[in-house]
Amino acid sequence: MERTLSIIKPDGVARGLIGEVIKRFESEGIRIAAMKMVFMSKAQAEGFYAVHRERPFFGSLMDFMTSGPAVVMVLEGENVIAKNRELMGATNYKEAAEGTIRRDFATDIEKNVVHGSDSPETAEFEIGYFFNKLEIVG
């Protein structure tokens, strides 16, 4: 069993896609072990995306991630880190495979609806960034 962090980003929440995204996870047998809504401050978003701070789009990404509420979830299942990345599709929705969340709903390389941890190490950091042990229902 593996765990990963998923975020329905502010564009996904504003556009009423929470149910759609969760439906895709549940219909693949992925279990939601924790979930909450967060309206990130600049400091919170900067801490979360610290690895990207040198990238040219960092400022724009911070404005986007702090533009409205997001839904953060801990997903649990076999091979769920890779499985979630597969359901999300490529970062750039124009390159994402058909039937993926980003291909179906993203409007921009930045406003791409969902985030998912990309390795066991990032999953551990990202889950711990938003949830303490008591909030994750085993």
β-sheet bridge partners, residue 36? 72
Burial class (CB in 10 A: 0-12, 13-18, 19+), 82: middle
**60 binds ligand GDP, rule: CB under 6 A:** yes
- Given 110, 124, 125, 136, the residue binding ligand GDP (CB under 6 A): 110
- 115, 116, 117, 131: which is the annotated catalytic residue? 115
Q: Which is nearer to ligand GDP, 30 or 114 (CB)?
A: 114
CA distances from 6 to 46, 54, 55, 56, 97 (A): 17, 23, 22, 24, 19
Q: Which is nearer to ligand GDP, 130 or 133 (CB)?
A: 130
Stretch that binds ligand GDP, among 18-26, 36-44, 75-83, 112-120 (CB under 6 A): 112-120
**109 binds ligand GDP, rule: CB under 6 A:** yes
Cβ atoms of 110 and 55 within 8 Å: the answer is no
**82 binds ligand GDP, rule: CB under 6 A:** no
